[in-house]
Amino acid sequence: MTSPAIEIDSLRVVRGGKEVLPGLSIGIQAGRITGLLGPSGCGKTTLMRAIVGVQIVAGGRVTVLGLPAGTRALRSRVGYVTQAPAVYDDLTVGANLRYFAKILGAASERVAAVVETVGLTGYGDKLVSQLSGGQRARVSLATALLNEPEVLVLDEPTVGLDPVLRQELWTTFHELADRGTTLLISSHVMDEAERCDELILMREGLILAHASPADVLLQANASTVEEAFLNLVGTKERAG
């Protein structure tokens, strides 16, 4: 076991008068891909926002790379890609990346490097508004890679992508993990689970399971992660 890159202790978050995370504790291993899975509204984005330090928390502690989440020193060390692509439609791919490189204080040479990493070589002069949804998502991912962050938090990065693009992105994620990046990737499609090193199954702000895909199946006596999820929900409900 490697040491955790992210440590969460009794995290409590209230949003819109509702307790979204009632007291969540978990450690996320460094240099691995952890999948955060659970149905819509269970709190995945909320948890990610707390990790990158943009969520108001009601209690508990979130530590990233040994520092409190959201600390200034973490800004260049933690990359975050939000659920909706956050790039400018009326700028080209290259202009977007040069702009974000400036803001983030990344070297301008990084622009070409990240364009290649996300498979958009040759698209630098294209307006983002003329790209497909998947290409737009990859521009968004590219902005988060500019600083070569040690921790990468990706909120549903493969939603709406075709299987080929999804495969390509997962290859990129594994390459980043192989180079030591810690990745936390959310999804509400359970079929992406097998591509992760570790899984966190979440429901209504609670953690149902946290283990490797194989161990999750074993624990839940299931043959698919979807089935594991349903079995674990059933077990919790029977236990009250």
Query: d(Cα 68, Cα 11) in Å, to the nearest integer?
Result: 13
Nearer to ligand ATP among residue 46 and residue 182 (C-beta): 46
Query: d(Cα 202, Cα 195) in Å, to the nearest integer?
Result: 17
Piece of 15-23, 73-81, 120-128, 164-172 that binds ligand ATP (CB under 6 A) = 15-23
Q: How many residues bind to ligand ATP according to rule CB under 6 A? A: 13
Strand order across the beta sheet in which 67-68 lies:
18-29, 4-15, 59-64, 67-68
Shortest Cβ 43–Mg ion spacing (Å): 8
Q: Exactly one of 20, 128, 209, 228 binds ligand ATP (CB under 6 A); which one?
A: 20
Residues lying near Mg ion in the complex (CB under 5 A): 44-45
Nearer to ligand ATP among residue 21 and residue 228 (C-beta): 21
Q: State yes or no: residue 188 binds ligand ATP (CB under 6 A).
A: yes
How many CB atoms are closer than 10 A to CB 5?
26
Shortest Cβ 160–ligand ATP spacing (Å): 13
Question: 36 Cβ partners below 8 Å, 6+ apart?
Answer: 44, 47, 48, 184, 185, 186, 187, 200, 202
Q: State yes or no: residue 85 binds ligand ATP (CB under 6 A).
A: no
Nearer to Mg ion among residue 80 and residue 123 (C-beta): 80
In the window 28-67, what residues touch ligand ATP (CB under 6 A)?
38, 40-46
How many CB atoms are closer than 10 A to CB 240?
4
Q: Are 36 and 196 in contact (CB under 8 A)?
A: no
Question: 29 Cβ partners below 8 Å, 6+ apart?
Answer: 1, 2, 3, 4, 5, 182, 197, 198
Binds 4: which of Mg ion, ligand ATP, none (CB < 5-8 Å by kind): none
Nearer to ligand ATP among residue 38 and residue 149 (C-beta): 38
Which residues sit at the interface with ligand ATP, rule CB under 6 A? 15-16, 20, 38, 40-46, 83, 188
